[in-house]
């Protein structure tokens, strides 16, 4: 008369006894009662009779630690990570590798152009000029690749007060034929008569009606 054995997970029937399985590889788990069937744990897959980890595609500046992508922290200043899945780095443009640092490759310097004309003739204006960081061979590079304080790109100009012009009127003359006239001139701050074009506003009347 035969016995019906109820063997557990990871066991198999051997005659009248249940025997423990020993065929599952590392990083796997038995799955079925009375059987030595197994499956790989999370983040692993079966390759033959082994369970191997899934390899993630880590990004630039990351490396695989087990099954997790970890951010690199090894690059120096003025450098960028250059490869996916590694902490390899390269120096920025204008820098070269010196041990574990990046140093300037060229003696960059500030270039200043000529000042442009002032935008005001008096009363305070502004003039500008080109200010660039340039390499020794004349190429424009990023401002942070030059050392020292960046020269001013603008400055105040023609800060002297603007000369004032006013209309000056004389006294009315004798009434002749119901009309009398007067002198109206434009004068500067030194009381000098100048062209009417310097004065703003409507020029006062030269004549007016009167009673003879």
The verdict on residue 42 lying in a domain is yes
Domains identified in the chain, total number: 4
Predicted confidence (pLDDT) per residue in 149-193, tens digit: 999 999 999 998 888 899 999 999 999 999 999 999 999 988 999
Q: What percent of the chain has pLDDT over 70?
A: 97
- pTM, entire model: 0.38
The verdict on residue 96 lying in a domain is yes
Q: In which domain, by residue range, is 89 found?
A: 62-104
User: Coil, strand, or helix at residue 197?
Assistant: helix
The verdict on residue 2 lying in a domain is no
The verdict on residue 94 lying in a domain is yes
Predicted confidence (pLDDT) per residue in 67-84, tens digit: 688 899 999 998 999 988
Q: Residue 206 in contact with residue 197, Cβ under 8 Å?
A: no
Contacting residues for 127 by C-beta, under 8 A, at least 6 apart: 115, 116, 117, 118, 119, 154, 155, 157
């Amino acid at each position: 008369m035969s016995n019906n054995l109820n063997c557990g997970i990871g066991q198999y029937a051997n005659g009248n006894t249940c025997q423990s399985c020993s065929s599952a590889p590392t990083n796997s788990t038995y799955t079925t009662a009375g059987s030595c069937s197994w499956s790989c744990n999370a983040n692993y897959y079966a390759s033959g009779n082994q369970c191997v980890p899934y390899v993630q595609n880590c990004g630039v500046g990351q490396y695989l630690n087990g099954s997790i992508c970890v951010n690199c922290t090894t690059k120096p200043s003025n450098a960028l990570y250059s490869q996916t899945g590694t902490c390899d780095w390269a120096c920025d443009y204008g820098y070269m590798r010196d041990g574990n640092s990046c140093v300037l490759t060229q003696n960059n310097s500030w270039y200043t152009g000529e000042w442009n004309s002032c935008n005001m003739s008096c009363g305070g204006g502004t003039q500008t000029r080109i200010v660039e960081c340039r390499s020794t061979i004349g190429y424009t590079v990023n401002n942070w690749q030059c050392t020292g304080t960046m020269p001013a790109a603008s400055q105040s100009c023609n800060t002297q007060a603007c000369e004032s012009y006013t209309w000056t009127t004389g006294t009315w003359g004798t009434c002749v034929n119901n009309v009398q006239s007067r002198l109206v001139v434009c004068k500067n701050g030194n009381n000098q008569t100048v062209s009417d074009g310097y004065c703003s506003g409507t020029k006062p009347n030269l004549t007016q009606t009167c009673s003879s």
